[in-house]
Structure 1
Amino acid sequence: MLIYDISCERKALQKGITLLESLVAIVVMALGLLGIVGIQMRTLADTQTGVRRAQAVKLIEDLSERVRANPNAIGNATSYAVAWGSTLGTPPACAINSGFPASSCTAAQLVTYDVDRWLRSVRANLPIGDAAVFVSGSDARQLGVMLAWRENERAREGDSASETSAYKSIFSVTGTSTSGSVTCPAGKICHLQYINLTQRCIPSGALVYCSEI
């Protein structure tokens, strides 16, 4: 009489099932980790966008403070104009000699100094950063400041070209200048803000006058 021992077959079958379960668990875990990494990357991109925009606001505030310090910003409004990709200039001689431009520079020279130093700061603090400054309004009492930096938003998988364009349109702002419109460069994220120009009167002995009117 032959006795067939099936215990060895059952053990082999059980080992195969255990291996399959382990492979399934590894695949599920890998998919979960990929999802977590994707969420973290998206969060990082959104955080970077917020940080860059906060930097842009601070840079525009810096220019605004420089404008307020100029005794005749209105009279030199057009001198503040900056086009995309403008070449960096050199400080005026009065700034180089004195080391503090406000003490010896005229209002026009102060504009040259401030714009040069501010544009250098923009390009140093924003990734592939650039700026466009333009006079807004016919009375030349307001400056439009548009800052641009490298776009870090990627098209979402499955979106059409029109959907991607609509999503990114909020970053492609347009400002109106006295000579036309200024638009955000392609492939860049932009921030647009306006600065009011001032003309400060200063005392001279018993008289009060506004310089360079």
Structure 2
Amino acid sequence: MRINCTLNLKRRINNHKQSGFSMLEVLVTILVVSFGLLGMAALITTGLRSNNTAHYRSIATQQTLDIADRMRANLTGVRAGNYDALTAVIPVSADCVAASCTAVQMSIYDQAQWNRANSVLLPGGVGTVAGNLAAGFLITLMWIEKEMGGVADPACPVGTAVNTRCFLTRFSP
């Protein structure tokens, strides 16, 4: 019986020579976890960048609808051609909320209010409207978007500065 106990004890000792983790295993684990964390950080950064772009496009959509509604509200001005060539310049206009305005004054007021809102809501935001009642109108909104990485937006007119995003909408009142 004593011999059998001694043999069992020797087997247990020989089977348990290595216990715990080696330093190499710990370093490999740290390396794998580090790559995983770097991947997660890149994913979060990309998500934030895409969220920022989506936010600006949502504002551009709302601003496009704003000028379209303004034009629908002033069909007399649209028929007279007052909205055929709205530029990015913010004109001086009368206050058409406090006093009644003519169709021409209302179109100037609409242009001023719209481009003022574009400049506040979008970074470097400006808007233009081109066209006529017969052919329809092209509403163009432009803003600076750092996430473009120095690339020109193909939707923008030729000669537009890099990092400028353009949002174009065709509209017929």
Q: Under TM normalisation by the shorter chain, which class is it? A: 0.7 to 0.9
Unmatched segments (≥5 aa) in structure 2: 1-16
Matched, 1:82 2:76: no
User: CA–CA distance in 2 between the matches of 1:115 and 1:196?
Assistant: 17
User: Which of 129, 133, 136 is the matching residue for 1:142?
Assistant: 136
Matched, 1:196 2:172: yes
User: CA–CA distance in 1 between the matches of 2:60 and 2:162?
Assistant: 18
Write the mapping of 1:91-102 to structure 2, written as runs, cut at 5 A.
91-92=93-94, 95=95, 99-100=97-98
State TM-score, norm by structure 1. Answer: 0.61
Aligned length: 155
- Assess if the C-alpha contact under 8 Å between 2:139 and 2:168 holds in 1: yes
- Assess if the C-alpha contact under 8 Å between 1:80 and 1:111 holds in 2: no
Alignment match, 2:14: none
Write the mapping of 1:1-213 to structure 2, written as runs, cut at 5 A.
18-70=22-74, 71-77=76-82, 80-83=85-88, 86=89, 88-92=90-94, 95=95, 99-100=97-98, 104-135=100-131, 141-153=135-147, 171-174=153-156, 182-183=157-158, 185-197=161-173
CA-CA distance at 1:23 after TM superposition: 2.3
Unmatched segments (≥5 aa) in structure 1: 1-10, 156-163, 175-181, 198-213
Q: Partner of 1:37: helix, strand, or coil?
A: helix
Larger radius of gyration: 2
CA-CA distance at 1:154 after TM superposition: 5.0
Q: Deviations over 1:18-68 (max 9, x none)?
A: 333222222221111110111121122222222211211110100011111
Q: RMSD of the TM alignment (CA)?
A: 3.0
CA-CA distance at 1:185 after TM superposition: 3.9
Alignment match, 1:7: none
- Assess if the C-alpha contact under 8 Å between 2:128 and 2:139 holds in 1: yes
Highest relative contact order (Cα 8 Å, sep 6+), 1 or 2? Answer: 1
